[in-house]
Structure 1
Amino acid sequence: MNYFDLPLEQWTNDFVNGWLLPVTSGLFDRISDWIGAFIDGVTNLLIFIPPEIIAIVLILLAWKTAGKGVALFTLIGTIYLGSVDLWPESMQTLAIVLVSTIISVVLGVPIGILSAMNSVINKIVKPILDFMQTLPIFVYLIPAILLFGLGGVPAVIATFVFAAPPAVRMTNLGIRQVPEEVVEASRAFGSTPSQLLFKVQLPLAVPTIMAGVNQTIMLALSMAVVASMIGAPGLGDTVLTGISTVNVGLGLTGGLGIVVIAIILDRITQGLGNKL
């Protein structure tokens, strides 16, 4: 049933080709350069550091935050990544995940704080987060490629859009869940709004915020294979190569590598949240 034609496709293309790209291409080029330099720096650092040192650091972190069982799994997991010659690819994936998570947390936590403090901002942010989380993943790739080309930068941008909402939502939730009695007692003792936020609400909300960071990391890792379709290096590219060549062994090897990194990061961030 077609009552009238809505030329949304034409409007969108006219907007992108007629205004967005000609006017903002310089801005997006600078953003691409900054993020690209950030990714390259983290990737080169992780690859430059000897694998044994990174493995020891991860094992110690797992031991201190999550216990001996997770430390043992981290030992086995890092040995696996080295034994199947996927260590460089693992570090490339880890670099993209770290950069995406850092950007998501740096932008997401302040937005979550503002949303918790202001109901108007919360009403504006909530539907935007719903849109970001319900839009199909592959749709993110189109504007990412259009504005940033191919490679790690569009992968980080697409991953940020997909993985940032939990950081915003959980920060908002954590602050709102602080008991009202505690807030009123703090105000009664003369706390300023900034003191109330940084000395009462945020410390009590840390476990919930860390849960949001944990979800952000997991969502970023889930984008590894999808991001490889637009040129992102790492384990996702290994899995994609296995799919395109119908190489089951290669796909399984790369997929298990992603699982290993996901479990290690998940347990460490969960344990860190519990410690804090």
Structure 2
Amino acid sequence: MKLLRYGDAGAEKPGMLDADGTLRDLSGVVGDIAGDVLSDAGLAKLRALDPASLPVVDGNPRLGPCVGNIGKFCCIGLNYSDHAAETGAAIPEHPILFMKANSAIVGPNDMVMKPRGSTHTDWEVELGVIIGKAAKYVSKEDALDYVAGYCVINDVSERHYQTQLTGQWTKGKSCDTFGPAGPWLVTRDEVEDPQELAMYLDVNGKRMQTGNTNTMIFTVAEIIEHLSGLFTLQPGDVISTGTPPGVGMGIKPEPVYLEKGDVMELGIDGLGVQRQEVGQDA
């Protein structure tokens, strides 16, 4: 299934795409794509529906973040061997974890706003993992059973804030609009292997990132094992699992960063496409 949320920011309604790509309203069935709806039982209830029985959503409404009421927004840094190489960083021994503020979360096609005075805003296409049930001390062999589904994430980053403002990466990762998520939550039964997904990101029509989740240093299962050994992962938590090479910071001989008016388009096989125009906070 492809589950989504549509409507004005802060007032999104739950929906699903049927086999023909028609948007269907789920408001009469569930309150949101969140919480218990993400459990195996909750997803089974939605899977049993006849999509043709659901109201068609007319027009072309705004798509919101594909998960509502996200608890923790966990992100993994330097998790692609080829991305680590382009930045000159050593391969980490354990997953590098930082948190992204939930106030960064926006819809997949909403504007991305450069913070006031920013000169180093960068792009990062990433595979997002949505947790479906509480996970504590989970083994990697069982880890994928705790996944509700997957989505596209753009882990937008302000590199000066990230590396020069003293402290953790969170400063450069948590600016408003720096967490586009969606367009859909694709349930795990439709993703045969999360470690064989091609991904890309274009800026102004130019291909900047080309990658595949098969170059991850730590797999989705290994990440869930590691994080669930540190704290309980709850339904609706999102894990952004790292980015392949081609970020602006890694361009030689000089890095390239986003400017007002630039357009990012990014996607992952089977998980849909995002498109964001870049704006500038006054």
Band the TM-score falls in, shorter-chain normalisation:
under 0.3
**Bigger share in strand:** 2
- State TM-score, norm by structure 1: 0.26
**Bigger share in helix:** 1
